[in-house]
Amino acid sequence: MSVKTKKSKIFPHECEICGAPAEYSFFGVISCYPCKMFFKRNANVGQAAFICNFDGQCKINRYNRHICPACRLATCFKCGMSTGKFRESRKIKPKRNILVKVQVQNQPEKLPTLNLLQSDQSLLTTNQWTLLTNLFHCYKESRILPFSQRLIDIYDASQSNYVIYKELVEEFLVSLYETAGTYLRSNDDLRKLSSDDRSIILRKAADNVCCMSGTFIMQYSYLYNLDAFLNTMSIKYGKRTMNIHVWARKFIDPDIVLAKLSLSLFAFSENTCCYYSNISNDLTNPINILEIQNKYAEVTWKYLLYKYGHYDAVKRYLNIILWLISMSILTFHAQTLKVHMNDLYSLIEQTELTLILDDVDQIIETNQYD
């Protein structure tokens, strides 16, 4: 006797909201059943009630679709779902009293779920969301992008003219160092350190941020694809430096939020200084630095879980570690480059002076109120 095995159903389409397998069109859009029910429940009230904790930047997929109702509902409307295609609910005839009594007696006690789909929250706490947002906006890559765009726009016309392209590259590099300095002066955790610890951390942090943000911006702006740019940079910093750059670029995550979180992680990577410092004045409170690192690492990991789910979070976090390792090699090599160190020392001096003046202003303001 043959036994018939049940074949799994193959769906011909993908949900336009989350990418899950789908078969039918609901409310004007091919969608899966969960997205259909989500839209039906929330379309009339959700837009006013839901608030995205990350400025509406969440990318909805089948694995994280329940995390951010605001972005999921916005995606539904963007794809073309319409409340005008809702059907009126059918009127259900009341059952006999006897049946109602039996159902009430046999009905199990309900758990107070209060609509779990609407109350789902990210693993990130409110304070962590605030920290994530601050770190994201702390590094202002928008100041560099106009310079990188000029390098791209003029590439075909000036690639044969080294002098013109060199001037454009110099402008780009100046903006890169200035933006790194702005980031360091805006980081609250750096500002709150004691003046001695801040002075020690700042030297390594400035190098880390400059090198890492450089690879990030060059990758993000597609500058690695321009031969004229690579040649000009090789003449300035050496071919070995650019070979390390090109090798390290493959570890940069395309998620700009994650890349900027990694930048903050790397800024405080001072374990070598804590335990094997060649500086005469060791850190007075190395545990404080480790706590900052741990805080940034936790926010990064929770953001990955929120955005991508556990499996992809592990892969992307591993990639961050590989990027940090490659950046350690780059910064170690960059310390042998006089042209880089001169710009770095200038950045450090300006940042230290600004932070000291801010400390003085704060002391004066505090004394005025005492």
Highest mean pLDDT among 102-106, 107-111, 172-176, 356-360: 172-176
Tokens representing 339?
A: 């042209």
Cα torsion angle, 217, 219, 225, 230, sign: positive
> Containing H/E element for 330?
helix 286-334
The CA dihedral of 282, 288, 293, 294, to the nearest 10 degrees, is 140
pLDDT: which is higher, 286 or 86: 286
In this prediction, residue 131 carries a pLDDT of 86
The yes/no answer on whether domain 126-369 falls in CATH 1.10.390.10 is no
In this prediction, residue 98 carries a pLDDT of 40
Task: Using pLDDT thresholds of 50, 70 and 90, give the confidence band for residue 190.
Answer: confident
Q: Is the pLDDT of residue 275 over 60?
A: no
> Containing H/E element for 25?
strand 24-26
293: CB partners within 8 A, 6+ apart? 265, 268, 269
**Helix axes 195-220 and 256-267, enclosed angle (nearest 10):** 150
For the chain, the structural domain boundaries read: 11-86, 126-369
Residue-wise pLDDT tens digits, 58-109: 888 887 777 788 888 888 888 888 877 676 544 444 444 443 343 434 444 4
Q: Is the pLDDT of residue 158 over 80?
A: no
Q: Is the pLDDT of residue 175 over 90?
A: yes
CB 76 within 8 A of CB 36: no
In this prediction, residue 179 carries a pLDDT of 92
Tokens representing 43?
A: 């379309």
Tokens representing 204?
A: 């390594």
pLDDT: which is higher, 7 or 214: 214
In this prediction, residue 20 carries a pLDDT of 86
How far apart CA 98 and CA 106 sit, in angstroms, is: 13
In this prediction, residue 155 carries a pLDDT of 65
pLDDT: which is higher, 7 or 177: 177
Average pLDDT, stretch 258-262? 90
Tokens representing 311?
A: 């499996």
pLDDT: which is higher, 57 or 258: 258
Least confident of 22-31, 166-175, 272-281: 272-281
Residue-wise pLDDT tens digits, 221-252: 889 988 888 988 999 999 999 999 999 988 99
In this prediction, residue 177 carries a pLDDT of 93
Q: Is the pLDDT of residue 341 over 60?
A: yes
The mean pLDDT value of the chain amounts to: 78
In this prediction, residue 370 carries a pLDDT of 52
Q: What is the CATH number of domain 11-86?
A: 3.30.50.10
Q: Is the pLDDT of residue 161 over 80?
A: no
Least confident of 47-51, 62-66, 137-141, 342-346: 47-51
pLDDT: which is higher, 359 or 327: 327
Q: Is the pLDDT of residue 117 over 80?
A: no
pLDDT: which is higher, 287 or 224: 224
366: CB partners within 8 A, 6+ apart? none
